[in-house]
Each structure stands twice: as structure tokens, then as C-alpha cells.
């Protein structure tokens, strides 16, 4: 659920500003809403330092058991930045040398000094390159020496006593010989290795640099809070939001600090942050919200429960293979055991989705795309999903899932406005959704269309038209009536879009089966063939698993964040609740 918030306006004297901010940070429950955009030289300096620290952490190797260098964190960062600049300069020099060597390699190794000495004695040696198929005309009295040739280019030297030229691209003499350039390149590469070793020498200081980065982040937040406060003569004030259950703590802090605090309920024009708090079994879905970077707005609804339930079902149908589900489950259990210090929400979500995949794959008889299942696995299949009409039944199930999913959205909307006439409009949308279900069933699967559904649609459209807007807003929101036909058509498209569950799942099975056939044909009759078959199975199923995961990310999440959310009226406009406090105290 979305935790209820209160709005705070806090006033203090200018002389107590620092003390107030320190106490507010120690309280650690107020999400600040800056009165003015934060700025200033101190803040810019802290942000620049943080960027330097972040870059230093990016290049520092992660060796937790390495010994510290003994330097102060600031000295370590300075040393790392010297190495960064040195590495960048070396990389540029190496790149320039590699280009120069590549440019002159076709002409072979020679001494530019010797050529210049010959020029002083009246013998001209010039380097040229020309298209390989071009007919070259050598000037009279000159001598051409071909140095290299490829399918597209010929490189040669022109020698004469008169300094004549040819109709070809002349290449200037290098400053050094090719051998000298290669030696210089080797020297630079050794310096690059020494520079990389320098980074490793500071690996034991990583924890200290991380701590410094956290301190800098805390300072940035503090300076932003200070610079973002409003100023009214001798009074300094700030605004923010906090959870309702923290009101007594805020009031006590205000009394202790001598602040003037105005606390009021959230209004329709306010934009408080969103703090989600769900039962433990629902919390794994937070991992998805963090990955895709969305959170419901404070005035929206928390669909975490239905998101988790339907995403688990979508995951199972899109992957569709019990063997893959077992593989996911095993890797998840290993990950939970091996990486206990990492956030567990993602692992817990994979436990749920992997189990659902195993169940769905067992019911549909899909195990690593095998054509013939052992008896012990075949007993879990159900005829409705595996018989002669399995495809038709699965598509019908997709339509049912879509209609139920969207019905939940409109039913929820109806409950939210249960005391208004708009609730009837949501009932109308439910009727429209089921009309589209029967329409899709008829058009795609050739089921007979029940005549009574036409009457349901007529009543549904009437309810939508009459009650979709409050009476006092009809004039201002007339455009909703203009686009209503498009919305109804979109309702049909949304129901049909759930067929993607069948299409992706079927494609996954087809890919797995194809690789199995290829492996069987390749592995017949020889040990080498068996090795080839093993490689085909490994890489084929690995590719199929990657495609399945992409299918979940694209289709499974889309059906929740677009189709379902669109019908429930969600725009995912929320900002995450981030209270003003030190990182060391940040447990949310």
C-alpha cells in the first residue's frame, strides 16, 4: 500500500539554521521539497568532488582482501586521478602510434634518414599508393619498386634522379623508422601495464574511498537542503513530507528545537513522494519497480499485489518450459546462498516466477523442448492444454486472462469512486471488456457470438457516455466523448494483445525443439558428432533462454505497466520517498 503522508512547513531563525538542519537530518523522516532550486559554490564543489570519487571507484579494482596503501582517502583519490590522466595520455599516444604504424607497415621497414641522405646526393625516393587494379605509368628514367599489394591497394616506391612525380597518392616520409615506432609502442604498452598495476596497488583503499563518497553524498544532501530553504528576512523556512505515523516524532523534534512547524493533510495540489509498504510475500515485486525505474504517484494506487500475481503467470507462460524453470530455480537458490549480502527481493521474485514456470511447463508437458517425454513427466500433463485443440484452448485462456486482468482494473476504479455516479461508468467499461472478449473469441477462434452480448455492449456504452465525467465537468472534458469510439476500439486491441503470451511461449518451444532435432541429427554415429550435439544443445538452449527472458521484460512487464495500468488510470508519475538523513542511517 501507499503510506499516507503529512505536509510540513518548518520555520526557524537564521542563526539556528545549521542546528535545525542537523537535528532534522538526525530525525531522518522528512522528504524535503526545496522552496528554491539549490545552488552555490559550496554545493558545486561538493558535486565535483563526488564525480571525482565516483570515477575513482569505477577504476579501482574490487579486491576486498587487499592491503590498504596507508594513504589518507583524499591522497588515494589524488593518486588515482594522476594514474587516470596518465593512462588517458598513454592511450592517446598508443592509439596515434598504432595508426602511424598501420599507415607505414605496407611499405616495410626502412630508415627515413637513409632516404634523406640519398636525396642530398641527388637520388629521389618517394612513397606512393594506388588502387590495386589501376594501370600505373612510370615516368621515363624512373624506377618503380612494388613494396606490397592487396586486393584493393598497391604500395610502391618511385626512384629517380629528377624528382619526378606520378599520378597516385604520395605518402610523406615518417619521422622514424618502422622498427623505431614499434619499439616506442612496446615501451608505451609497458608503461600502460605499470599504470594498471598502480590501480591495483590501491585496491585495499576501496572501502575508505567508498566511505568518503558516502560522506560527500551526505554533504551534498545537506548543502542542497540548506540552499533550498526559503528566506523571509530573519526567518528561514523549508517544506517537506513525512509518513503520518511519524507525526508525534516530528512535533517532539519541533518542540525540542524551538521550531515553528505547520503540519497539515495532503491536498489535491500537493505532490508528496511515494513510500510503498507491502506484506513480505508481496515485497519481491519491488525489485521490478527498481529495475524499470517506476513508482506509482501518491494520488494513484498501489498495484503491487496484482502486478506480482500476473507477472508470475506471464513469466510462466512466456518462458513456458518446466526444464528452464528448474534451471532458474537452481540458479536462484545458489545465488541466495552465495550472495547473502545482496538485496534478496530479486532472488525471492525469481523463486516465485521459477516455481510458476515449472508448474505451467509440467501442465503443458514442455521440458527442454523434448518431443517424447518420459512417463514420469507425462503424468503431469492436462489434456485441455496438450490435446488436439491445445493451441486453440491456450489462445482462449489468453483472452480470459486479458479480460479478467482488465476487469480487475475497472472494478478497482469502481470501488474507488463507489459513492459517485462514475462508478457506473466503470461498470460500463467492464461490460465493454467482456464484449471485446467475445468478439475476439469469435474473430480469432470462430466461436459463435452470443446475441445477448450486443445488448450488454449497448448498456455498457450508455453507462460510459452518461457517467464517465461528473456533471460539472462535462463541458470542460467534452473531448473524452470525441475519442470514446477510439477508446472502445483500443479496449478490443488490449484484450487481443494478451495473445502475445501464447505466441511467445509457442515460439520458445519451437526454437527449443528445433535445436533438439539439430543436435540429434548431428550427434548420430560418432564421438565428434556427440560433442557437436552437446555444443548445439548448450548454445541453442542458452540463446532460447535469453530470448525468453527478453520476452518477459518486453511483454510480461508491458501488460502490467501499459494495458492494466492504462485501464486503472495509472501514469507512474511518483517520486520515491527519500528522507533527509545520512546514508549510514538509510535503511529504506
Computed over every residue of the chain, the mean pLDDT equals 90
Q: What is the pLDDT of residue 524?
A: 66
What digits encode the pLDDT tens for the residues 49-100? 999 899 999 988 888 788 888 888 889 999 999 999 999 999 999 999 999 9
Please answer whether residues 563 and 306 qualify as being in contact, where contact means their C-beta atoms are separated by less than 8 angstroms.
Answer: no
Percent of the chain with pLDDT over 90: 66
Domain ranges in the chain are 110-176, 283-567
* Chain length of the chain: 588
Most confident of 139-148, 155-164, 399-408: 399-408
Kindly report the CA angle at 209 between 207 and 212, in degrees rounded to 5? 110
Please answer whether residues 253 and 21 qualify as being in contact, where contact means their C-beta atoms are separated by less than 8 angstroms.
Answer: no
Alpha helices (H) along 446-526: 452-467, 479-482, 484-496, 500-522
Choose among 381, 328, 318, 317: nearest CA to 352: 328
- Whether the predicted model's global pTM rises above the 0.85 cut: no
pLDDT of 332 above 50 = yes
Rounded average pLDDT over 233-258: 92
Percent of the chain with pLDDT over 70: 97
Please tell me the distance from the alpha carbon of residue 206 to that of residue 195, in angstroms, as a whole number: 17
pLDDT of 478 above 80 = no
pLDDT of 378 above 50 = yes
- Please provide the DSSP assignment of 24-54 as one string: HHHH---EEE-SS----HHHHHHHHHHHHHH
Rounded average pLDDT over 179-196: 94
Amino acid at each position: 500500500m501507499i503510506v499516507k503522508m503529512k505536509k510540513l512547513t518548518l520555520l526557524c531563525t537564521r542563526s539556528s539554521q545549521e542546528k535545525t538542519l542537523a537535528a532534522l537530518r538526525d530525525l531522518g523522516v522528512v522528504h524535503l521539497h526545496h522552496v528554491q532550486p539549490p545552488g552555490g559554490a559550496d554545493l558545486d564543489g561538493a558535486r565535483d568532488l563526488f564525480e571525482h570519487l565516483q570515477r575513482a571507484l569505477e577504476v579501482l579494482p574490487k579486491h576486498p582482501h587487499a592491503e590498504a596503501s596507508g594513504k589518507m582517502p583524499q591522497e588515494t583519490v589524488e593518486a588515482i586521478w594522476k594514474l587516470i590522466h596518465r593512462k588517458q595520455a598513454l592511450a592517446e599516444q598508443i592509439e596515434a602510434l598504432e595508426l602511424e604504424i598501420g599507415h607505414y607497415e605496407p611499405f616495410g621497414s626502412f630508415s627515413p634518414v637513409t632516404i634523406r641522405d640519398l636525396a642530398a646526393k641527388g637520388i629521389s625516393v618517394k612513397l606512393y599508393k594506388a588502387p590495386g587494379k589501376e594501370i600505373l605509368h612510370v615516368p621515363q628514367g624512373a624506377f618503380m619498386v612494388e613494396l606490397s599489394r592487396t586486393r584493393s591497394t598497391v604500395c610502391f616506391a618511385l626512384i629517380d634522379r629528377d624528382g619526378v612525380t606520378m599520378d597516385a597518392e604520395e605518402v610523406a616520409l615518417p619521422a622514424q623508422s618502422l622498427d623505431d615506432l614499434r619499439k616506442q609502442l612496446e615501451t608505451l604498452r609497458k608503461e600502460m601495464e605499470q599504470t594498471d598495476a598502480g590501480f591495483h596497488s590501491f585496491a585495499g583503499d576501496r572501502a575508505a574511498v567508498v566511505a568518503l563518497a558516502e560522506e560527500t553524498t551526505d554533504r551534498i544532501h545537506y548543502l542542497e537542503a540548506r540552499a533550498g530553504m526559503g528566506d523571509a528576512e530573519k526567518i528561514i523556512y523549508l517544506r517537506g513530507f513525512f509518513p503520518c505515523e511519524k507525526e508525534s516524532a516530528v512535533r517532539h523534534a519541533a518542540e525540542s528545537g524551538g521550531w515553528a512547524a505547520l503540519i497539515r493533510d495532503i491536498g489535491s495540489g500537493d505532490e508528496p513522494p511515494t513510500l510503498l509498504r507491502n506484506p513480505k510475500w508481496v515485497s519481491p515485486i519491488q525489485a521490478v519497480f527498481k529495475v524499470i525505474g517506476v513508482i506509482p504517484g501518491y494520488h494513484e494506487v498501489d498495484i503491487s499485489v496484482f502486478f506480482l500475481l500476473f507477472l508470475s503467470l506471464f513469466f510462466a507462460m512466456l518462458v513456458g518450459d518446466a526444464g528452464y524453470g528448474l534451471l532458474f530455480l537452481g540458479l536462484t537458490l545458489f545465488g541466495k546462498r552465495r550472495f547473502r549480502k545482496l538485496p534478496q527481493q530479486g532472488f525471492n521474485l525469481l523463486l516465485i516466477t521459477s516455481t510458476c514456470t515449472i508448474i505451467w511447463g509440467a501442465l503443458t508437458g514442455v521440458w527442454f523442448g523434448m518431443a517424447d517425454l518420459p512417463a514420469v513427466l507425462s503424468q503431469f500433463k492436462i489434456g485441455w492444454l496438450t490435446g488436439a485443440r491445445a493451441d486453440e484452448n491456450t489462445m482462449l485462456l489468453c483472452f480470459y486472462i486479458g479480460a479478467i486482468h482488465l476487469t480487475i482494473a475497472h472494478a478497482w476504479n469502481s470501488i474507488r469512486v463507489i459513492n459517485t455516479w462514475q462508478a457506473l461508468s466503470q461498470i460500463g467499461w467492464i461490460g465493454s471488456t467482456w464484449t471485446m472478449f467475445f468478439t475476439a473469441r469469435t474473430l480469432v477462434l470462430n466461436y459463435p457470438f452470443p446475441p445477448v452480448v450486443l445488448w450488454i455492449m449497448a448498456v455498457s456504452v450508455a453507462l460510459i457516455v452518461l457517467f464517465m465525467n461528473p456533471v460539472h465537468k462535462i463541458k470542460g472534458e467534452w473531448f473524452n466523448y470525441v475519442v470514446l469510439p477510439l477508446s472502445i476500439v483500443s479496449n478490443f486491441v488490449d484484450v487481443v494483445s494478451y495473445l502475445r503470451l501464447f505466441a511467445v511461449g509457442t515460439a520458445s518451444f519451437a526454437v527449443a525443439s528445433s535445436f533438439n532435432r539439430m543436435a540429434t541429427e548431428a550427434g548420430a554415429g560418432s564421438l565428434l558428432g556427440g560433442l557437436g550435439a552437446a555444443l548445439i544443445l548448450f548454445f541453442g538452449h542458452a540463446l532460447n533462454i535469453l530470448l525468453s527472458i527478453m520476452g518477459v521484460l518486453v511483454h510480461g512487464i508491458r501488460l502490467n505497466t501499459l494495458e492494466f495500468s492504462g485501464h486503472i488510470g495509472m501514469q507512474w508519475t511518483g517520486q520515491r520517498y527519500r528522507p533527509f538523513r545520512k546514508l549510514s542511517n538509510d535503511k529504506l
